[in-house]
Chains A and B, each alone.
Chain A
Amino acid sequence: MATPEPLIASTQWDRTAFQWLSTRRLLTLAGIGMILAGMVFGDIFAVFVLHQNAARVGASLAAAAHAAEAGDTAAVAAHFKSTGEFLENRGTKVDTHVHLTTFGYLALLLALAQPWVKFSEAIRRRLAWLLVFGGVLLPVGVFLIHYVGLAYSPLRDIGWASIFADLGGLLVLVATLSYLAGIGQYFRVKQPSPPDQFLRERSTASRWLLAGGLGLVLAGFLHGAYYAGVDLYRHEAEDYTILAQMSSGAAARNPAQINQALAAYGQLQGDKAVKIAAHAHIIEFGLLAMLLAFFQPYVQLRDVWKRRWAGVLLSGSLLLPVCVLMEMKYGLLAGGVADFGGLLVILSLLAMWIGILRYTGSVDAMAKEAQP
């Protein structure tokens, strides 16, 4: 049965519109909010937890090696137990940061893909809430794993925090699968793409963000390829060799060998961490810049300010990974500049988020008026 033309037009307009608490606006604001929360959390973690935690891991590993040298098996086990706890503390916080920002990116992507989801606005909005709820539940659950542990858990290895984190992941998966089904339906019907202001944007800020973002992603790819080719297998071999030296030094009661191995192990872990962090951050920031390019028509700020914030975002996106890479050579100075780069990204993202929050519907009104 043929659908009357005005109905198609209004449905398409609904899917591309950006009115208050529409699916698109909800996913956009929640997505940027999640990215912001993830970045602020990451910055706090980097400044107040990361280095202190790494020092504790190093100290407990050193204590375990020296306990092995003294022949104290019980103390070795105790020190490794604390090393495991410090590593779990670090790992869950990194996972919280990564998952919160990644789900934010996914929400932004799905906001852009809404014109191709052939469901009613009500269903799409429910799916959006499901995605946002799951996207927040998972990182919160992961964050609590270290503190809740196995308390009152019905399972032997997995605590309540992990169970809720996995449930959050499942909800995100269900919402994403449903959106995919909606997109599949849209393409099966072979409708032409609805006119969408998001995709037509050609402003200076938008072009800077798109080109700069792509450049950052490509730089991240090339750096990743270099890391995989030059450093990855060397790092893995050194990890094993240094631990073997530490262990044999302990067995031979040779404290000098242990201390040498401990120093080398600290250097290796630092080198590995900065290279992986630089690779991950430059690609993530590149993707973020590209995504934000499409949202520029709905950022209610003056053009000059849009350009300024785009420039600030790209500068911070480059500064952070480059200075993270330099941390091994220049220490805390480079670390401080890297944190400043992260702050620039957060500030520009916050400015764009406020701009989108201020949007009153002018672009939608013009689009609706232009309809036949």
Chain B
Amino acid sequence: MNARQLLLCGGIALAILGMSYGLWYAVFAEHQALDGIGHSLASAFQAAAERNPATGDQALVQYRQAKYAYDRQVDVHGHWIGLAMLLMVLAIGLDHVGFSEKWKLLLAWILLLGSVLFPLGVLLETWSHGPIPKAVAILGSAILTAALAGMIIGFLRRQDA
């Protein structure tokens, strides 16, 4: 598989993954998540009206957890699709990159890996608050940014040639 095939097929596959995840989330999880956020926040203030701080605190903790998960689940959907489109654009513009096929393939693998890992790490944060999901997300975004910078250097080299 050459760099263009990898970026094009990987990009479309990632877009499909992001869309499938978004479709599943919209049908089976989003309404429940939004209801949970609204309900827990309303409960916190109703408990305050009843002068019941313990129930209010508990409801606010539920709100915090539900909001934390919701924000990340929506971000994962958006980032997978956005990064997929970037991979596809880079695949199409690969002729403008002034590197050998070996370097292009290496950059393509790093871009694909980073595009999968970064949102995956964010998604894992909804299951575990430990350091591993954060490390996955940071690693994914770092290698993605580095590979994109590499692609820019490749585009500049081509124009200088």
Which residues does A use to contact B, with CB under 8 Å?
64-65, 67-73, 76-77, 80, 83-84, 87-88, 98, 102, 105-106, 109, 112-113, 116, 157-158, 162, 165-166, 169-170, 172-173, 176-177, 179-180, 183-184, 187, 193, 198-200, 207, 210-211, 214-215, 217-218, 221-222, 224-225, 228, 236, 239-240, 243-244, 246-248, 250-251, 280, 283-284, 287, 290-291, 293-294
Chain A residues near B86 (CB-CB < 8 A): 217, 287
Asked if B67 and A166 sit within 8 Å, CB to CB, the answer is: no
Which residues does chain A contribute within 8 Å of B52, judged by CB atoms? Answer: 251
Could you give, for residues 136-161 of chain B, a 1 whenever the CB lies within 8 Å of some chain A CB and a 0 otherwise? 01000110110011011001100100
Q: Which residues of B contact A248 (CB under 8 A)?
A: 48, 53, 56
Once A211-B155, A294-B93 are accepted as A-B contacts, the answer to whether A243 and B8 lie under 8 Å apart by CB is no
Contacting pair B16 A166 (CB below 8 A): no
Contacting residues, chain B, for A198 (C-beta < 8 A): 92
Q: Find out whether the CB atom of A210 lies under 8 angstroms from the CB atom of B48.
A: no
User: Which A residues are CB-close (under 8 A) to B44?
Assistant: 243, 247
Cβ-closest 5 pairs across A and B: A80-B42, A250-B48, A251-B48, A68-B49, A68-B48
Distance in Å from the Cβ of B77 to the closest Cβ of chain A? 10
Q: Hey, which bits of chain B sit against chain A, CB under 8 A?
A: 1, 4-5, 8-9, 11-13, 15-16, 19-20, 22-23, 26-27, 31-32, 34-35, 38, 41-42, 44-53, 56-57, 60, 63-64, 67-68, 71, 78, 81-82, 85-86, 88-89, 92-93, 95-96, 137, 141-142, 144-145, 148-149, 151-152, 155-156, 159
The A contact surface, by secondary structure, is helix
Contact (A221, B20) CB under 8 Å given A68-B46, A248-B53, A283-B82: no
Docked-complex contact B81 and A102, CB < 8 angstroms? yes
Q: Is the CB of B45 within 8 A of A80?
A: yes
* Contact call A173/B23, Cβ cutoff below 8 A: yes
B45 touches A176 (CB 8 A): no
Contact indicator B9/A183 (Cβ below 8 Å): yes
Residues from chain B with a CB closer than 8 A to the CB of A70 are 49
Q: How far is the CB of A309 from chain B (nearest CB, A)?
A: 19
Nearest chain B CB to A178 CB, angstrom units: 11
- Indicate which residue in B23, B64, B159 contacts A170 across the interface (CB closer than 8 Å): B23
- Interface pair A77/B26, CB less than 8 Å apart: no
**Which residues from A are CB-within-8-Å of B148?**
214, 217-218, 221
**A105 → chain B, closest Cβ, in Å?**
5
B64 neighbours in A (Cβ, 8 Å) = 236, 239-240
Q: Are B151 and A214 in contact (CB under 8 A)?
A: yes
By beta carbon, the residue of chain A nearest B96 is A210
**Inside 8 A of B49's CB, which chain A residues have their CB?**
67-73, 76, 250
Q: Given the interface contacts A183-B12, A244-B60, A251-B53, does A239 sit within 8 Å of B67 by beta carbon?
A: yes
Chain A residues near B71 (CB, 8 Å)?
A: 236
How near does chain A come to B3, taking the closest CB pair, in angstroms?
12
Shortest CB distance A187–B (Å): 5
Q: B42 to nearest A CB, angstroms?
A: 4
Which of these, B8, B42, B81, B82, contacts A183 with CB under 8 Å? B8
Contact B26 A166 (CB under 8 A): yes
